[in-house]
């Protein structure tokens, strides 16, 4: 009986020791575990440049006003404001040599804005040069306003993303680097996961401050946009 008990005890101890040495079932470093949510993948597209962007100088940037000038309405593809090196072709590499990573272009005396969508290689499907000023007859088309910036719930809290995320998943393409407009330049390009703190704003925020007792009487109204 004693021998039998000893043998089974040794067997159990042996099994549990071996089990300890087995690799864990879930490998936390595997791609499967750390892959991002597919709709948020674009956020990480340029994060490898985050630290570099943080050290760039802030002078001589274009303003949001200049940025809006090339666009017919918020979210519209900007016209190509410069001469084309060749009238032929769909775009692709010919455009990406300057627009994939940006950089200063002597010929146009400006920094090339980085494209948020290098994978859409048929550039001229959406971007065209503007060749004439008045080709069409007048219409009643009015450019509608671009959304306001600085919409934060409290001073110091992350402003909401005032724009839609369609074609705007790649945050650093527009918010960092030398071609980013001054007003929307991000002070923390190295934080990588932008959407961890910034949420899309689908409401209109009005804050009425009560100067006598700051927070308690401040009225924060969220009026849903239709």
Which residue's CB is nearer to ligand HEC, number 10 or number 76? 76
Which residue's CB is nearer to ligand HEC, number 56 or number 184? 184
Which residue's CB is nearer to ligand HEC, number 143 or number 188? 188
Closest distance of CB 194 from ligand HEC, Å: 3
What tokens appear for 186 in the block?
A: 């991000």
What tokens appear for 121 in the block?
A: 């290689």
What tokens appear for 29 in the block?
A: 């470093």
| Count of H-run helices and E-run strands, the chain | 7, 4
Which residue's CB is nearer to ligand HEC, number 125 or number 218? 125
Closest distance of CB 206 from ligand HEC, Å: 15
Which residue's CB is nearer to ligand HEC, number 9 or number 51? 51
CA distance 52 to 165: 25
What tokens appear for 1 in the block?
A: 């009986």
Closest distance of CB 59 from ligand HEC, Å: 15
Q: Is 80 in a helix, a strand, or coil?
A: strand
Residues whose CB is less than 8 angstroms from the CB of residue 224 and which lie 6 or more positions away in sequence, other chains included: 202, 203, 204
The residue among 76, 63, 65, 181 whose CA lies nearest residue 130 is 76
Cα dihedral value 106, 107, 109, 110, nearest 10? -90
Which residue's CB is nearer to ligand HEC, number 5 or number 209? 209
Closest distance of CB 135 from ligand HEC, Å: 19
Closest distance of CB 23 from ligand HEC, Å: 33
Closest distance of CB 210 from ligand HEC, Å: 21
CA distance 222 to 209: 14
């Amino acid at each position: 009986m004693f021998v039998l008990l000893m043998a089974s005890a040794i067997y159990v101890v042996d099994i549990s020791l071996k089990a300890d040495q087995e690799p864990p079932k879930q490998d936390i470093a595997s791609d499967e575990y750390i892959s991002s949510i597919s709709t948020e993948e674009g956020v990480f597209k340029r994060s490898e440049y985050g630290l570099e962007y943080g050290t760039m100088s802030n002078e001589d940037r274009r303003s949001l006003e200049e940025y809006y000038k090339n666009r017919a309405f918020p979210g519209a593809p900007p016209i190509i404001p410069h001469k084309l090196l060749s009238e032929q072709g769909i775009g692709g590499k010919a455009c990406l040599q300057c627009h994939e990573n940006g950089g200063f272009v002597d010929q146009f005396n400006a920094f090339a804005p980085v494209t948020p969508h290098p994978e859409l290689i048929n550039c001229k499907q959406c971007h065209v040069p503007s060749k004439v000023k008045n080709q069409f007859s007048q219409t009643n088309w009015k450019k509608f306003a671009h959304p306001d910036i600085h919409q934060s719930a409290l001073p110091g809290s992350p402003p909401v993303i005032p724009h839609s995320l369609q074609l705007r998943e790649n945050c650093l393409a527009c918010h960092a680097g030398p071609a980013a407009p001054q007003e929307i330049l991000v002070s923390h390009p190295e934080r990588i996961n932008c959407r961890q703190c910034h949420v899309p704003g689908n409401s209109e925020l009005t804050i009425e401050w009560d100067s006598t007792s700051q927070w308690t009487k401040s009225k924060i109204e969220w009026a849903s946009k239709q």
